[in-house]
Structure 1
Amino acid sequence: MELELLTGLQKYFYSNLTILKKLQQLSPEEILSFDLKDFLNSGLKEKDADFIVSREVLREGEMELKKAEKENVLVISKYSQEFPSLLREIDYCPFVIWVKGKKDTLSKPALSIVGTRNCSSYGKLVADSLSSELSKRGLVIVSGLARGIDTIVHSSAIEQGETIAVLGSGVDMIYPSENKRIASRIEERGAIISEFPLGTKALPYHFPMRNRIISGLSFLTIVVEAGERSGALITAKWALEQGRDVLAVPGPITSEGSKGTNFLIKQGAKPVLSWEDVWEEIPSFLKKDLKEKLEEGKIELSKEEERILSLIPLESEITIDELSLSSGIPVYEIFPVLFQLELKGLIVENPGKSYQKRIR
């Protein structure tokens, strides 16, 4: 009955964080024992109080749990041992979360990497490098599955380790739709979670709420690239309110996309120049389960791979047509070379079939 209650409460009140916080001061037993007057005295409106007292909340919760079971989705309550321990500590903690994928990912050390949807080549490069280097050392990487930095962060993390995508919709309503394929891969190598019930569409006001879950799952948050009004700054604000560290990647003072991160650094956020800067901030009790030093063998390259790699820039992008023009090699011969270079982790493909070197 407890899970039905909490699921029903989350489904009905998810858009009202103030009410959720008020109800969280009560145990499930107290909520079930309260009468209408008790709820009104605690600050609830009559229609909201009546929803609980009439036991309609239990029926709603039961229906939602049946739907989740049918969709192979887990519903985990904040009182469960499977609920992420860091998330349980925050104010405005959800009563339940919906989870698709590997639930054991939720119990591993996690940090979040976030940034703008309209990222630059520089932002893509740094996001890819940080996510890759930190995930291969055993850290779970949390982000929001949005376009831009989030997508790159998840893509790099699942190549090396595990990642958690936190949605501003139900876990069955992937947004943006072009990320459905990567979402399927995340289910296999991590988890997709949400505080929003199944069938909930992504609405603008959901994303600022969602951001507190991203930071809440993480012992620290890294902002890679963010303009002055970027949603990534909301995640940073939540992290600070939750008592978590915020780190930021510095960028050119002339770049609109770095105004937010440069401001965070000015306000005291630690600047991130490499994954080692992040490693220094990891609590010692977490490091015992992580791998700082990795054995990396020499990467063998063919003459064609060496030639193409030498033409691909680090801080900007180049298209396959431009590579063909520079090298004099037909496009159809360059494709398999690029594929091998990607497999070897030496280059990254950006949207629009453009390529750039990875930071190593």
Structure 2
Amino acid sequence: MTETGAASRIRLTDPQRLAWLRLIRSENVGPTTFRALVNHFGSASAALEALPELARRGGARRIKIASTADAEREMEQAARAGVRFVAIGEADYPRDLAAVDAPPPLIAVKGPTDGLRRRAVAIVGSRNASTAGRLMAERLARGIGEAGLVVVSGLARGIDAAAHAAVVDLGTTAVLAGGLDKIYPPEHTDLLDRIVDRGGAAVSEMPMGWVARPHDFPRRNRLISGMSLAVVIVEAARRSGSLHTARFAAEQGRVVMAVPGSPLDPRAEGCNDLIREGAILTRGAADVIEAVAPLIDREPAPTPMEEPERPAGPDAMDRIADDSRALVVQALGPTPTPIDEIVRHTSLPSAVVLVVLLELEVAGRIERHGGGRVSMIPE
């Protein structure tokens, strides 16, 4: 069994799952870095051993690595809350999420995982929803659920809650911005309990005990769209977080749909704008089913946990000269730059550039952006 075969079904051992949790909880290790580290070193445990040296070569004095005790504590906390961790490549990991750019290597799941194996449609919208908006969300969710699809949403007030509540008996998944033991908003704890008791699930990529902060919600929205074939927006102001979900959906190649509203209602401005920009005008569940029908039987292609033109072995970084590292650093700046351009500019082998970028990221000196771009973090 290999940890790197995300395209095939794997099953982590308990020690491997613990090492994966330690690695993803370590400082400066996000999904992309995790993938590169496991690919380069062959396992999460080997990557953990290499992190201090990687950080040193990248210019950091020290790096905070999640300890075994920390990971075991979180595992125990999760078990007490009825939560388990599912790894990318395992059977219960949502297949559409596995196919997006930089999917989380581990997700925390509470409740049955049957729904995570089924195709899904997301319904999101305004927290300050109108009565008509809530009714529309309920009707959409019910029709989508009766068609055999799972409804995904973010457990927020307004549209999200209306969509979840309409299909607790048909299948719904709530994606949280915080830990699964820190329900937000707290008044929806009972709703989440109903979802789980009726066969639905709650999902998060955040640690147990994590209280959601404003900048955590875009990460949640990216998971919502990543798990779904389509995203339907019901009421959204022009600066609504729901529009982030629509943007992520477009970047991930998902179908973007929107319910039109009155030009006099600010809660409809975002939806009307989306329709003008090409989103599918949605009048009811039949429109959604028609849009996703050609996709239901199409298997997504999971992103393999591989790095192109990887170095021959973990000791490859020992063969990288300091002047090569300097060339990569000089090619970086505050503006996001495609990695291919860095390779072209430096005339270095792409494998060398990838390792240097890995060192810099572990050291907390660069930031990754969509489309394979990176930028230097100002000191």
TM-score category, normalised to shorter length: 0.7 to 0.9
1:195 matches 2:218: no
CA contact (8 A) 2:96 2:229 kept: yes
1:61 matches 2:65: no
Change over 3 Å in CA distance of 1:287–1:128 after alignment to 2: farther
Change over 3 Å in CA distance of 1:127–1:57 after alignment to 2: same
CA contact (8 A) 1:9 1:95 kept: no
After superposition, the C-alpha distances for 1:313-349 in whole angstroms (9 at most, x for unaligned) are xxxxxxxxxxxxxxxxxxxxxxxxxxxxxxxxxxxxx
Counterparts of 2:16 and 2:85 in 1: how far apart (Å)? 12
The equivalent of 2:357 in structure 1 is none
The equivalent of 2:234 in structure 1 is 224
Counterparts of 1:239 and 1:107 in 2: how far apart (Å)? 19
The equivalent of 2:183 in structure 1 is 174
Tell me, which stretches of 5 or more residues in structure 2 are unaligned?
Answer: 1-14, 299-379
Counterparts of 2:30 and 2:203 in 1: how far apart (Å)? 22
**How many residues are aligned here?**
279
Change over 3 Å in CA distance of 1:40–1:168 after alignment to 2: same
After superposition, the C-alpha distances for 1:170-194 in whole angstroms (9 at most, x for unaligned) are 1111111111111110112200111
Counterparts of 1:272 and 1:208 in 2: how far apart (Å)? 24
CA contact (8 A) 1:9 1:61 kept: no
TM-score by length of 2: 0.69
The equivalent of 1:141 in structure 2 is 151
1:21 matches 2:40: no
Change over 3 Å in CA distance of 1:180–1:22 after alignment to 2: same
**TM superposition shift of 1:84:** 0.8
SS at match of 1:218: coil
Task: Give the superposed CA RMSD.
Answer: 2.2
**TM superposition shift of 1:91:** 2.0
Match of 2:264 among 254, 260, 273: 254
The equivalent of 2:54 in structure 1 is 39
CA contact (8 A) 1:131 1:141 kept: yes
1:98 matches 2:111: no
Counterparts of 1:130 and 1:273 in 2: how far apart (Å)? 9
The equivalent of 2:335 in structure 1 is none
Change over 3 Å in CA distance of 1:64–1:44 after alignment to 2: farther
Change over 3 Å in CA distance of 1:47–1:239 after alignment to 2: farther
TM-score by length of 1: 0.72
Matched residues, percent identical? 36
**TM superposition shift of 1:42:** 8.5
After superposition, the C-alpha distances for 1:80-107 in whole angstroms (9 at most, x for unaligned) are 2221111111223112111111111100
**TM superposition shift of 1:30:** 4.6
1:211 matches 2:226: no
- 1:229-248 correspondence to structure 2 within 5 Å: 229-248=239-258
1:111 matches 2:121: yes
CA contact (8 A) 2:24 2:34 kept: no
Bigger RCO of structures 1 and 2 (CA < 8 A, at least 6 apart): 2
After superposition, the C-alpha distances for 1:282-316 in whole angstroms (9 at most, x for unaligned) are 1436279xxxxxxxxxxxxxxxxxxxxxxxxxxxx
* Residue type at the aligned position of 1:47: R
CA contact (8 A) 1:3 1:61 kept: no
The equivalent of 2:345 in structure 1 is none
Counterparts of 1:36 and 1:154 in 2: how far apart (Å)? 41
SS at match of 2:232: strand
Counterparts of 2:193 and 2:35 in 1: how far apart (Å)? 33
Change over 3 Å in CA distance of 1:276–1:59 after alignment to 2: same
Deviates more, 1:279-288 or 1:229-238: 279-288
Change over 3 Å in CA distance of 1:38–1:11 after alignment to 2: closer
- 1:281-300 correspondence to structure 2 within 5 Å: 281-284=291-294, 286=296
Tell me, which stretches of 5 or more residues in structure 1 are unaligned?
Answer: 289-360
Q: Which has the larger radius of gyration?
A: 1
Counterparts of 1:253 and 1:59 in 2: how far apart (Å)? 56
Change over 3 Å in CA distance of 1:183–1:42 after alignment to 2: farther
Change over 3 Å in CA distance of 1:65–1:284 after alignment to 2: same
**TM superposition shift of 1:25:** 2.2
CA contact (8 A) 1:76 1:99 kept: yes
Counterparts of 1:96 and 1:286 in 2: how far apart (Å)? 25
